[in-house]
Amino acid sequence: MIERKQIFVDGQWVSSSGQDVITVINPATEEPTAIVPRGTAEDVDRAAQAAAAAFESWSRTPVQQRIDVFTRLARVTEDRADEITRTIVSEVGYPVKWTQRSQTAGAVEELDIIAECLREISWVEQVGNTQVCREPSGVVGAITAWNAPLRSIISKAGAAMAAGCTIVLKGAEVAPLTSFIFAEMAAEAGVPAGVLNVVCGTGPEVGEAIASHPLVDMLSLTGSVRAGQRVMELGASSVKRMHLELGGKSANIIFADADFERAVVDGIEDAMRNTGQVCGGLTRMLVPRQRLKEAEELAVRKAQSYVLGDPLDPATTLGPVATAAARERVRGYIRSGLEEGVRMLTGGPQPPEGLSRGYFVKPTIFSGDNRCRIAREEIFGPVVVIIPFDDESDAVAIANDSVYGLAAGVWCGDTDRARSIASRLRVGRVRINGAPLNKRGTHGGFKLSGVGREWGRFGIEEFLEYKSVIG
């Protein structure tokens, strides 16, 4: 059992003003794995005051100094890679091999990218007799997600610090331990006191206190649409700048001339990564009507190949969902699909055989249309709906028929045609023929998927304001 008894404010580990704690549960065993302080609004006030006091000096540090800090932070993260991997596995239940590659190595990569991209930003541009300057937004309230706990912190607190902002960070209460580790690593890398402050706690207590605090200039949240709406509502009273990365229900369009088997298998892998707990997962698979049966067979074969079990076992390829509530919600969606008469091809709401403990859900494939609830709402679990289309226009219409607009995939034998189709999709990111993600590009969406972008130079610029100096 890990016990974290203090929060991080103004460069020091100090006691929370609250007396309550949050118990972190291992989703694979359903056993307590850690206890952390349950922070309060008073804690947030102390953190915000520290961040506001540190802003003047940190915002004026030379860019090279911030580059050096983030380069050191990447190396410190490498040194603690094994600990970070074990922590994430225990908090969220990701299989260890996936955690090592995607979460831990991915965090190091993103820190290095931040350091590199700081050199690419045009901090001052001459426009006639005017200097257009880019300056940090101020104190940023960062409310991060549990499904990629360290990488979410880096995309928000990391990018904002790189821009010259100071931070009040609330790590996710489901997976808070990496926020403590990040604070330790930041201090070791040379982040000055007050630049990063960490208060763990619940959304209604700590999250809302951050969102409404008068010293917080900007809010950055990854979470549900409901959480984003609440943060927007609270921040509106003081007209805070908003950066919101919310939900998704992304379509994967597979045309007949694509490498069909590879496209279907890759699509299932994308949707099932992190047990389907990814906002950009391609959870709607769109296929030509005449090849529906083939797609169904390929998808079922892939779904049934997953090995569920202990996430520390290298043989495990699919872990549990993060909480008991998440397990019941996902199983509820599966039941709703059955109640609506959607054809289930594999999986189901029953517990997986041989797994009496842990928040496990069977990888489930449905074949239906875009009208059913499971095709329209974000499930955030290992559930995919296969939907047939008649022609290109029909495929684009189905893909765009969603309140979300985060991501999409297009598989097509003609790359130029695929790019043309991508231009018609109202989403923030389109992968063509399974191209790997480029973290120097952008991540973010249209519609209910949010406001603003993360990753690379663009993610840092999200935390900058323009100033004109004339004469």
What are the boundaries of each domain within the chain?
A: 2-246+449-470, 251-439
pLDDT score at 285 = 98
Angle of CA points 120, 123, 127, to nearest 5° = 115
Whether 425 contacts 396, CB under 8 Å: yes
Of 111, 121, 90, 117, which Cα lies nearest the Cα of 26?
A: 90
85 three-state secondary structure: helix
Tell me how far apart the alpha carbons of residues 24 and 241 are, in angstroms, rounded to a whole number: 32
pLDDT score at 99 = 97
Whether 7 contacts 37, CB under 8 Å: yes
pLDDT score at 152 = 97
Q: Which two tokens stand for residue 423?
A: 């231009």
Whether 48 contacts 168, CB under 8 Å: yes
CA 300 to each of CA 189, 292, 378, 431: distance values in angstroms, whole numbers, following the listed order: 47, 12, 21, 23
Q: Which two tokens stand for residue 375?
A: 């095709």
pLDDT score at 120 = 96
Q: Which two tokens stand for residue 470?
A: 């004339």
Could you give phi then psi for residue 125, rounded to 5 degrees?
Answer: -130, 130
Query: What CATH homologous superfamily does 2-246+449-470 map to?
Result: Aldehyde Dehydrogenase; Chain A, domain 1 (3.40.605.10)
pLDDT score at 341 = 97
Could you give phi then psi for residue 338, rounded to 5 degrees?
Answer: -65, -40
Tell me how far apart the alpha carbons of residues 471 and 175 are, in angstroms, rounded to a whole number: 51
Q: Count CA within 13 A, CB hemisphere, residue 252.
A: 26
Whether 254 contacts 266, CB under 8 Å: no
Whether 124 contacts 132, CB under 8 Å: yes
What CATH topology corresponds to 251-439?
Aldehyde Dehydrogenase; Chain A, domain 2 (3.40.309)
Please name the residues in contact with 383: beta carbons below 8 A apart, sequence gap of 6 or more.
276, 283, 330, 333, 334, 337, 347, 364, 365, 366, 374
Q: Which two tokens stand for residue 95?
A: 């299989």
Tell me how far apart the alpha carbons of residues 182 and 13 are, in angstroms, rounded to a whole number: 13
Catalytic residues: 245, 279
Q: Count CA within 13 A, CB hemisphere, residue 104.
A: 24
pLDDT score at 446 = 98
Neighbours of 344 (CB within 10 A): 17
Whether 170 contacts 199, CB under 8 Å: yes
Please name the residues in contact with 310: beta carbons below 8 A apart, sequence gap of 6 or more.
28, 316
Whether 148 contacts 174, CB under 8 Å: no
pLDDT score at 279 = 95
Whether 179 contacts 169, CB under 8 Å: yes
CA 144 to each of CA 127, 147, 174, 178, 333: distance values in angstroms, whole numbers, following the listed order: 37, 9, 11, 11, 25
pLDDT score at 294 = 98
Of 341, 392, 389, which Cα lies nearest the Cα of 366?
A: 341
Could you give phi then psi for residue 373, rounded to 5 degrees?
Answer: -60, -40
pLDDT score at 403 = 98
Tell me how far apart the alpha carbons of residues 285 and 252 are, in angstroms, rounded to a whole number: 5
Angle of CA points 448, 219, 213, to nearest 5° = 130
Mean pLDDT by groups of 10 residues along the chain of 471 residues: 96 97 97 97 98 98 98 98 97 96 97 98 97 98 96 98 98 96 98 98 97 98 96 96 97 98 98 97 98 98 98 97 98 98 98 95 98 98 98 98 98 97 98 96 97 97 98 94
The stretches of 190-309 forming alpha helices (DSSP H) are 208-212, 225-236, 260-272, 292-304
